Amino acid sequence: MPLGIYFHIPFCKKKCNYCGFYSITDLSLEKNFIDALLTEIEYKKKILKQINDKYNQTTVFIGGGTPSLLSPENIIKIIKKIREYVVKIKEFTIEVNPESLTEDKLKIFRDTGINRISIGVQSFDDRILEFLGRPHRLKDVTKSLEMANKYFEC
């Protein structure tokens, strides 16, 4: 039986009009949050190891919020820390938004073992994106899809 583990990154560039998720825009808290998350993972390492031993098809999802907003250094820290205790990961996903996705981050995702990208698009119509309060536009979506295709298979 597969088992999924979810890590929530609560930062966003701006709050979308319809959003019901827990997210904040104060990125000055990024360092404190990452330190706390790494400590929490260390604290729960026994449980994570048990999951790793018991399940052959673990999936990990780093969602949010907007995980792609994190600095490359912090993304690496989180992924490495998770992989210290969960090694049998069948599907390792990170959620990204078009306005904060870069080639450098895509390279990091691929090189650290992420094998699935979830891109938050919502619409290909700029008027709807504006109505929803999304910070990206169609041109950002097109660019992020083109970049993602270089590093991940569709």
- Residues in touch with ligand SF4 (CB under 6 A): 12, 15-16, 19, 21, 23, 64-66, 97, 120
- Three-state DSSP class for residue 61: strand
In whole angstroms, the minimum distance from the beta carbon of 130 to ligand SF4 comes to: 13
Residue closer to ligand SF4 by CB (options 65, 144) is 65
Closest CB 92 distance from ligand SF4, rounded Å: 20
Name the minimum Å distance from CB 22 to ligand SF4.
8
Q: In what order do the strands lie in the sheet with 89-96?
A: 3-9, 58-64, 89-96, 116-119
Please enumerate, as own/partner, the contacts of 28-32 that have beta carbons within 8 Å and a separation of 24 or more.
30/70, 30/71, 30/74, 31/74
Spatial separation of the C-alpha atoms in residues 82 and 41, rounded to whole Å: 7
